[in-house]
Structure 1
Amino acid sequence: MKVAVILNRTIAGTDAALCELQSAASRFGIEIVEPDSGEAYDFNLVLGGDGSVLRAVHTTNSDAPLVNINIGSLGYLTCAGIDELDIVFSSLVEKTYEISERLMIRAEIFDGDDISLFPPAHALNDVVAMRGNSSRVVGLDLHVDGEDVTAFLCDGLIVATPTGSTAYSLSAGGPVVMPDTQALVLSVICPHTLTSRPLVLPTSCELIVRVSRACTPLNFSVDGQTGVPLCTGDYVKITESNKTVRLVMLPNYSPFATLRRKLNWRGTLL
């Protein structure tokens, strides 16, 4: 078995963690290779945090499943910590792991003349249109499947996947959506109204978010990895992507247990 290791060397302790990983891999007869070596391999192993995982999704050319080992802070997208390497490698060798296939969304940016401004981008977590340098609110018009739905005066807007529902969307008041749900979550950032609520939409929808008012260009980002300007009249078309991401999970993975452990989610305290 061959595993390509993707590192985030900006995290303290990465070199020590890599040594532990190499030692554990040798105990299980697993060969470590470079992700860009040209060799075929079975898994991408990401050593880092959630940001490292998202970066790997956008930079790797392999469709091998991701094994995400947390040495960052939250590690919501990771399957284990650095102290659980033996459990992880045992699961890989014995093939007792589970694959969680996550949907992605596709975003295209057009100007007011319907001319494409950038190549389509694909997001595992979310796409975000956020006001730029100005502190003034922006105007955003929402269209779903060709219907004029509503308009917002706000700081921005998030369209998240189920995977991304526990990230920025959650902080903006969006719901937690189970990873295997086929849905998109639309959350408005600081809307200037008392009645705005997040929307949960089927993945079959075509969403168009048009900038109707902006003193300065908005910043449009995909998984927090890329940023492009959006000016008045520009719009973003958002649909389900034909790409997916496969995450390796340990046996008996539970999204509810992850919610409790990582985000301190709970019901009534008696």
Structure 2
Amino acid sequence: MKRIIIYQKEGLEIPEALKKALRKSLFEKGVEIVGPENPEGAEAIVVLGGDGTFLRATPLAYRLDLPLLGINLGRLGFLTEVSIEEAELALSALVAGKLQIEKRLLLEVEHQREVFYVLNEVAVLKGPLGRMIHLSVFAQGEYLTTYYGDGLIVATPTGSTAYNLSAGGPIIHPQTSAVVLTPVCPFMLSARPLVLPSEMEIEIELASPSPEVHILLDGNLNLILEPHERFKIKKAKRFLKLLTSPTRSYFEILRTKLGWGEIKL
């Protein structure tokens, strides 16, 4: 591997330990480091930051069809799996081509003839006036139901540990081919999270004349959904390539981040 894109949070100060790891595993091995504005010939993208930075790098990685490796300089770090302590080992393995690549489901969102790509979730949420909204949902062209409440989350398995989890949705293993619909503060006891096959095309329509309803894509991009407007969500044509931690499994990361432990009797 001769060329790597470094994608980092703006204004980020890189810790000395990480600078040392970058120098030993990349610079001293003749790897050229470039920014996202100069991607020609790059073979991977290394994200320095938290999960938000990782999500902002996702559309670039998808467009270039390059694998992503996240080094966590944020807080929780479900997507930026590699800690600073693991960075040198992970980067050396990346250069040697020894890191495992996982394929992660992406969602393709079509809104007003524009197309966007989402790794974690699409969240349709009420505006600042605080009025509950009606969202009619269609799956493969068939009417499913209308949610009445503060909004609706459509999450991927990767995103199931993000906003979906906070809203009471299930954790879904990232290799599962599914999406989950999780209502946000629904005004009906029968509204529960619903898991659907990822191959199903989902359409969401704002069925009430509510002003300022927002479509939030991965917490980064905010679109406005007009009254009685409908938009589409479907599985993207390609997967996102994710480079995983060389020392910890998904279950170990899950246990650590969620504070799970054995119960001693």
What TM-score, normalized by structure 1, do the two folds share?
0.89
Per-residue deviation at 1:149? Answer: 1.6
1:63-82 superposed matches below 5 A: 63-82=65-84
Partner of 2:117: 122
Partner of 1:132: 127
Contact 2:179–2:195 at 8 Å: present in 1 too?
Answer: yes
CA distance in 1, matches of 2:247, 2:173: 15
Q: Report whether the alignment pairs 1:234 with 2:229.
A: yes
Per-residue deviation at 1:34? Answer: 2.7
Contact 2:18–2:87 at 8 Å: present in 1 too?
Answer: no
Instruction: Label 1:45 to 1:224 Cα distance change in 2 as closer, same or farther (>3 A).
Output: same
Per-residue deviation at 1:4? Answer: 1.3
Partner of 2:171: 176
* CA-to-aligned-CA distance 1:21-50 (integer Å, 9 cap, x gap): 432323444332233225412211110010
Contact 2:214–2:222 at 8 Å: present in 1 too?
Answer: yes
CA distance in 1, matches of 2:141, 2:113: 22
Contact 2:127–2:212 at 8 Å: present in 1 too?
Answer: yes
CA distance in 2, matches of 1:186, 1:10: 35
Q: Report whether the alignment pairs 1:40 with 2:32.
A: no
Instruction: State which drifts further: 46-55 or 251-260.
Output: 251-260
CA distance in 1, matches of 2:115, 2:38: 27
* CA-to-aligned-CA distance 1:213-238 (integer Å, 9 cap, x gap): 14312011211121111121011211
Among candidates 195, 210, 215, match of residue 215 of structure 1: 210
Instruction: Label 1:269 to 1:196 Cα distance change in 2 as closer, same or farther (>3 A).
Output: farther
Contact 1:137–1:214 at 8 Å: present in 2 too?
Answer: no
* CA-to-aligned-CA distance 1:221-267 (integer Å, 9 cap, x gap): 21112111112101121111113211111336422111111122457
CA distance in 1, matches of 2:21, 2:127: 41
* CA-to-aligned-CA distance 1:68-102 (integer Å, 9 cap, x gap): 10111111102311222221123223333110110
CA distance in 1, matches of 2:85, 2:258: 20
- Runs of at least 5 residues in structure 1 that lack an aligned partner in the other structure: 110-116
Instruction: Label 1:250 to 1:53 Cα distance change in 2 as closer, same or farther (>3 A).
Output: same
Partner of 1:19: 19
1:17-166 superposed matches below 5 A: 19-24=19-24, 25-59=26-60, 61-109=63-111, 117-166=112-161
Per-residue deviation at 1:10? Answer: 3.9
CA distance in 2, matches of 1:63, 1:220: 26
Count of aligned positions: 262
Per-residue deviation at 1:17? Answer: 6.4
Instruction: Label 1:107 to 1:35 Cα distance change in 2 as closer, same or farther (>3 A).
Output: closer
Q: What amino acid does structure 1 have at the position aligned with 2:96?
A: E
Q: What secondary structure does 2:54 align onto? A: helix
CA RMSD of aligned residues (A): 2.0
Task: Give aligned-pair identity as a percent.
Answer: 37
Instruction: Label 1:187 to 1:20 Cα distance change in 2 as closer, same or farther (>3 A).
Output: same
Q: Report whether the alignment pairs 1:202 with 2:197.
A: yes
What TM-score, normalized by structure 2, do the two folds share?
0.91
Instruction: Label 1:269 to 1:185 Cα distance change in 2 as closer, same or farther (>3 A).
Output: farther
Instruction: State which drifts further: 77-86 or 21-30.
Output: 21-30
